[in-house]
Copies of this chain bind each other. A is one copy, B any other.
């Protein structure tokens, strides 16, 4: 097969050496790995289509990927086969101010697009934590979220058009440059979040927005997480849609302070970080109203950043949450159970109870505005019992999230690691339907087999 693949993409772009096979055996998910047979780097849509035709004929698994920053083992080639790496397809083809769209290949990194459009006074809102490394193809395949989802939505809300190659090697285009287009089923949004199981995306047309003029940032400490959750409800009920509304629980506040020494109040039960963007007058008004809402719910301290440096310091507390937890133990399991925002306090209380019962260190931070929580366990992978306890604890956490009308995954994807929980959320009939949809796109089941739709 290697010779056949080399004839398509060139011998330089087919790798089966130990280094390549090792590099592409994992993504950002801990503990999961799978050895591919060969790694292929196509340069354009025609090469992708030709590779898929070969794989389809031979019934060889194909795992498409970009930078592999996903956290659900969505790009681990656990059944071997071809890893199709799309990072050579990294042309940012067009930024149109007139149509407010960008057209690019899937290998463009998210930060590159964000920076390029920012330089023209535009905004591409999706900002997943991995944005400096992650590719747009991966972001669309996983329907990445980020910190601005409450106000601006997630990746799916910015996918206007997609060119994609089906499992059979056929090339389709869905949508284009239009906000309004209802010709046919909405395949571009079906592909968004399909985790490489339906098609390989080869070109993306993404919606842009005018960039906001300015932004403001503030923070508030609370005795209890419940107080912070009520402040969130009060902010939203007051008619404000903030751009940032993030929280850290007590475990995270402590670990961030130990790590970054930025003077956080480690006696607080919760820290809420809030922000708004727009024009300066609206920001000032919204920030004042959010501060009032926090005070009304018993915030022990509220601070509005009065300079960009102060704002950066506040945001640093949120950004440091994951790295600070990660350095406590060699293994970090970062999850993304999600609940309606009115149930956040209840859910975090469940997480803390479960962590205690399983004798685990779990800190929870996340997106208070959209209910997307990141319970994060840190442990020693050599401690096999702790690993077992962590899996059991997360099983309970997911079950609790579902009881509260939530989801097993808000933004990380199902991948390999959450497939076992999917039927609990969707039911057997729904999962069977996913399989039939998968077969419509990929009749021989070569695309990322054993994951979503399998």
Contact status A183-B437, CB under 8 Å: no
One of A36-44, A81-89, A185-193, A295-303 at the interface:
A185-193
A residues engaging B (CB < 8 A)? 96-101, 121, 142-143, 145, 149-150, 153-154, 156-157, 166, 170-174, 176-187, 189-190, 192-194, 198, 209-211, 213, 233, 236-241, 278-279, 281-282, 285, 338-342, 367, 370-372, 405-414, 418, 422, 425-427, 429-431, 433-434, 436-437, 439-441, 452-453
Sampled A-B contacts (13; CB under 8 Å): A97-B237, A98-B233, A170-B429, A176-B340, A176-B407, A177-B405, A178-B370, A178-B372, A181-B410, A182-B409, A184-B426, A210-B241, A281-B282
Are B211 and A156 neighbours in the complex by a CB distance under 8 Å? no
Q: Is the CB of B440 within 8 A of A183?
A: no
Distance, CA A427 to CA B179, complexed state (A): 21
The answer to whether B433 touches A166, judged by C-beta atoms less than 8 angstroms apart, is yes
Ordered nearest first, which 6 A-B pairs have the shortest CB separation?
A: A436-B440, A180-B410, A98-B342, A210-B239, A181-B407, A189-B189
A342 to B101, CA, bound (A): 11
Q: Which residues of B contact A411 (CB under 8 A)?
A: 180, 182
Please name all residues of chain B whose beta carbon is closer than 8 Å to the beta carbon of A154 when the two chains form the complex. 179-180
Residues of B within 8 A of A412 (CB): 182
- Whose C-beta in chain B lies nearest to the C-beta of A230? B98
Are B441 and A180 neighbours in the complex by a CB distance under 8 Å? Answer: no
Copies per complex?
A: 2
The residue from B99, B370, B413 contacting A340, defined by CB atoms under 8 A apart:
B99
Q: Are A177 and B340 in contact (CB under 8 A)?
A: yes
Q: How far is the CB of A74 from chain B (nearest CB, A)?
A: 10
Q: Is the CB of B121 within 8 A of A182?
A: no
With the chains together, A346 CA to B98 CA distance in Å?
A: 14
Are A194 and B190 closer than 8 Å at their CB atoms? no
Query: Besides A182-B193, A183-B425, A210-B241, 11 other CB < 8 A contacts?
Result: A96-B342, A142-B182, A178-B370, A179-B370, A181-B409, A182-B412, A183-B414, A184-B434, A187-B433, A210-B238, A279-B282
Q: Which residues of B contact A434 (CB under 8 A)?
A: 184-185
Minimal Cβ-Cβ distance residue in B for A412: B182
A280 to chain B: closest CB distance in Å? 10
Q: Are A407 and B178 in contact (CB under 8 A)?
A: yes
- Would B183 and A194 count as touching, CB distance under 8 A? no
List of B residues within 8 angstroms of A281 by Cβ: 279, 281-282
> Which residues from B are CB-within-8-Å of A285?
279
A342 contact set on B, CB distance < 8 A: 96, 98-99
- Is B282 a contact partner of A186 (Cβ separation < 8 A)? no
A358 shortest CB reach to chain B, Å: 23
| Residue on B nearest A123 in the bound complex, by CB | B239
Q: How far is the CA of A121 from the CA of B429 in the complex (A)?
A: 39
Chain B residue, CB-CB nearest to A286: B279
Residue in chain B with minimal CB distance to A370:
B179
C-alpha spacing A176/B177, complex, angstroms: 29
Contacts of A182 in B (CB 8 A): 142-143, 193, 407, 409-414
- Compute how far the CA of A384 lies from the CA of B417 in the bound complex, rounded to whole angstroms: 63
Q: Which residue of B lies closest to A168 (CB)?
A: B429
- Chain B, Cβ-Cβ closest to A453: B185
